Homo-oligomer: A and B are copies of this chain.
Amino acid sequence: MPLLVMKFGGTSVADLSRIKNAAEKVKREVARGYDVIVIVSAMSGKTNELVGWVEQTSPLYDAREYDAVVASGENVTAGLMALTLQEMDVPARSWQGWQVPINTTSQHAAARFMSIPRDNIDAKFAEGFKVAVVAGFQGLSHEGRVTTLGRGGSDTTAVAFAAAFAAERCDIYTDVDGIYTTDPRISPKARKLDKIAFEEMLELASLGAKVLQTRSVELAMRYKVRLRVLSSFEDTDDNSGTLVCDEDEIMESKVVSGVAYSRDEAKLTLVTVEDRPGVASAIFGPLSEAGVNVDMIVQNISEKDYDEAHPGAVTDMTFSCPVNQVARAKKAMEDARSAGKINYEDLVVDTDVAKISVVGIGMRSHAGVAARMFEALAAENINIKVISTSEIKISVLIDRKYMELAVQALHDAFELEKVA
């Protein structure tokens, strides 16, 4: 029997009528001959309520108890979804993590999958059950305690089940109808993509197109799970949404697939740092320890000696991080300087920047993407402050006030409104 995994997030199961709406989508796939594994999140708001209670009770909480409390939200939805399906004459039952069992590591609140044995659920399919409704986001440690995967973990649960059960596809139902070439709120020309490669989705996800949890895309890529993102709130069919898949499945790939942005970035420059082995680690070690999520890093090499008191080459080191982490980053740098671990003349902070990225696997075989990007920005008189590139992505930092303009200009320049 072909098998599908269908995942419904918190807004898709926010109340009983939405659970019913989701169940109707499941029933349709059952009617088409599929066995279905449904992965559900907690009803929206519930997880926040539970997390709030835990944090109020114990600011430095025992993560094992956090998990025991927080995982209960998904158990409620799983039972309600099973009941809703039964009401529609679809043979269904709910599964909590320990019942499957979903074996994970013991890193509470951030557990990782170890194994998902198929036996128990397969036995129920063999008995005539058509749907297994599994509580997302949770698992079981080898000590027999409830674990959770960290926020957003239900996407990852869905992909892990799709891999374990060799599902034909993993459909992620959410509150958007697919992946767009850019944010439609910024560019009205934004176009929904029919397909996107795993690698592109990873770059887009981490850049702020927060439709799928990054980890779930990584897992899908590793196990070649075909992921589909589609809307819970619309009538959907086989052609709905966006398929996230192996690039081999994408026949005609455009050079650039999308333009992503990240609004609240800050640029920090350490002026005249010594240019010697070990300097980068002396800088980024303390930042990492301080919990600063450093994104772009650019080093300008300088051959000139600084002065007699400071022999040797010097350089400027620029990096970016979320704007709300600037205070932490500054303190980490000042502490490291006071402790004599690094030396710098000045720390220049620019909190008014945004990051714009163009992403596309086609870039690998096409020269000139960077040139076209810079030309488009120049045509709008937008100054580029930092550039960083990867194999399938070019990112720049620009003044925040030009962010929307830059996204629109790049969307036009790469003709993303047109189908490839």
Instruction: Show the binding face of A for B, using Cβ within 8 Å.
Output: 16, 19, 50, 53-54, 56-58, 61-62, 64-66, 68-69, 72-73, 75-76, 78-80, 82-84, 86-87, 93-94, 96, 98-99, 144-146
Contacts and interface: CB of A to CB of B under 8 A. Distances in A.
Given A68-B82, A98-B98, A99-B145, 13 more contacts: A16-B53, A16-B56, A53-B80, A54-B83, A57-B87, A62-B83, A62-B93, A64-B93, A65-B86, A65-B93, A66-B79, A69-B83, A96-B146
Given A65-B94, A93-B65, A144-B99, A76 B50 contact: yes
A68 B94 contact: yes
Contacts of A66: 79, 83
Contacts of A94: 65, 68
B72 A54 contact: no
Q: In the complex this chain forms, how many copies of it are found? A: 2
A69 B80 contact: yes
Contact of A82 (B62, B82, B83, B87): B62
B75 A61 contact: no
B16 A57 contact: yes
27 contacts: A16-B53, A16-B57, A19-B57, A53-B76, A54-B80, A57-B80, A57-B84, A57-B87, A58-B83, A58-B84, A58-B86, A62-B83, A62-B93, A65-B83, A65-B93, A66-B79, A68-B75, A68-B78, A68-B96, A69-B75, A69-B79, A69-B80, A72-B75, A72-B76, A75-B75, A96-B146, A99-B144
Contacts of A72: 72-73, 75-76
Nearest to A133: B65
A62 B80 contact: no
Contacts of A62: 82-83, 86, 93
A62 B146 CA distance: 25
A213 B141 CA distance: 36
Contacts of A98: 98
Contacts of A54: 79-80, 83
A79 B87 contact: no
A213 to B, nearest CB: 24
A73 B49 CA distance: 13
Contacts of A87: 57-58
